[in-house]
Amino acid sequence: MVDGAVEEEDLGEDLGGDEFAADCQARVAFEVLANRWDSVIVYILGEGGPMRPRALITRIGGISPKVLNEALRRLEYNGLVVRQAYAEAPPRVDYSLTEAGIALLGPIRAMGAWAGRYAEAVLAAQTRLGPREDRPDRT
């Protein structure tokens, strides 16, 4: 083993082949979690069950109706939430998780646990290196 490398058994399930190739299915998971609000919305729906948009805004805090709507559309497009419209006056819409959305709760909780353990170290590194826009990209 190379110094600092992770043993294969520590990585969990094998993703099969070249895990991060352009056509790798594992990239789908990273793309789904890449948006700032998507995992938060999935988590809130997983904890609270079906919710109306206004209830989501109240529960999340700091998200505008426009941004929430964009995120919900993206999550619906990705098959993680389902939109249920009711023919009532006034109209009512609820959002709930699909099977795929429910399955994503475990990884989201794991990311939350990771953040609880390492967020301070990440923030300290960011402070030490300064604002991102002041640094050249390092590839």
Give pLDDT tens digits for 98-114.
Answer: 999 999 999 999 999 99
Pick from 71, 83, 81, 84: nearest CA to 105 = 81
Closest CA to 31 of 74, 72, 95: 74
Q: Taking 90 as the threshold, does the pLDDT of residue 44 lie above it?
A: yes
Domain for residue 5, yes or no?
Answer: no
The answer to whether position 22 is within a domain reads: yes
Residue 6, pLDDT score: 53
136 in a domain, yes or no?
no
CA–CA dist 35, 44 (Å, integer)? 15
pLDDT > 60? residue 46: yes
pLDDT confidence tier of residue 1, bands split at 50, 70 and 90 = very low
pLDDT at 27: 81
The pLDDT-based confidence of 30 (bands split at 50, 70, 90) is: confident
Peptide bond into 90 cis (omega under 30): yes
Tokens 């609820």 found at: 94
* Residue 25 pLDDT greater than 90, yes or no: no
Whether 59 maps to a domain, the answer reads yes
Q: According to the model, what pLDDT value does residue 17 have? A: 55
Per the structure, the count of domains in the chain is 1
Alpha-helical (H) ranges within 7-134 are 26-33, 38-48, 53-60, 65-77, 99-103, 105-129
Look at residues 57, 14, 42 and name the one whose alpha carbon lies nearest to residue 106: 42
Task: Tell me whether residue 139 is in a domain.
Answer: no
**Quick check: pTM over 0.85?**
no
Query: What is the C-alpha separation between 90 and 102, in angstroms, rounded?
Result: 29
| Arithmetic mean of pLDDT, 53-74 | 96
Q: What is the pLDDT of residue 139?
A: 45
Which residue range(s) make up the domain with 83?
A: 16-129
Quote the pLDDT of residue 137.
Answer: 55
Residue 134 lies in a domain: no
